[in-house]
Amino acid sequence: DAMVIQNPRYQVTQFGKPVTLSCSQTLNHNVMYWYQQKSSQAPKLLFHYYDKDFNNEADTPDNFQSRRPNTSFCFLDIRSPGLGDAAMYLCATSRGLQVWNPLHFGNGTRLTVT
């Protein structure tokens, strides 16, 4: 089945130690999103790619970076994780940017920072 896969499912990192989360998709969608979701809060968009075009949200800290080497893969890099970065990170894809395109989410990566 076509799907969005996030690895790892759970990630533990130390304060200040760089970490990379990965997302892959078999849907061949143009758009890939990264969301951060803290406990009992709504998902917050960090950035998205439309093909190779990167779009950063204005309030996304510089500590968060992303790479999309090809259509299928997208990575979230946290350069120096702080305790406040502990959250669920959700990857999603859509065929296009228009809001009537359904979003397809992965199962998320839960990041713990010790």
DSSP-assigned beta bridge partners for residue 84: none
Q: Which of 1, 59, 62, 99 binds another protein (CB under 8 A)?
A: 99
User: Residue 42, Cβ neighbours under 10 Å: how many?
Assistant: 7
Q: How many helices (H) and strands (E) does the chain have?
A: 0, 11
Residue of 47, 5, 53 whose CA lies nearest to 25 = 5
Q: Considering all CA atoms of the chain, what is the largest pairwise distance in Å, rounded to the nearest integer? A: 40
Choosing from 30, 45, 50, 73, the residue that interacts with another protein (CB under 8 A) is 45
Of 79, 74, 40, 73, give the one whose Cα is nearest residue 60: 79
Contact call for residue 76 and another protein (CB under 8 A): no
Among residues 56, 65, 71, 107, the one that binds another protein under rule CB under 8 A: 107
Binding segment (CB under 8 A) for another protein, from list 14-22, 66-74, 78-86, 93-101: 93-101
Rounded to the nearest whole angstrom, what is the least distance from the CB of residue 100 to another protein in the complex? 4
Per CB under 8 A, residues contacting another protein are: 37, 40-43, 45, 57, 88, 90, 92, 97-108, 110
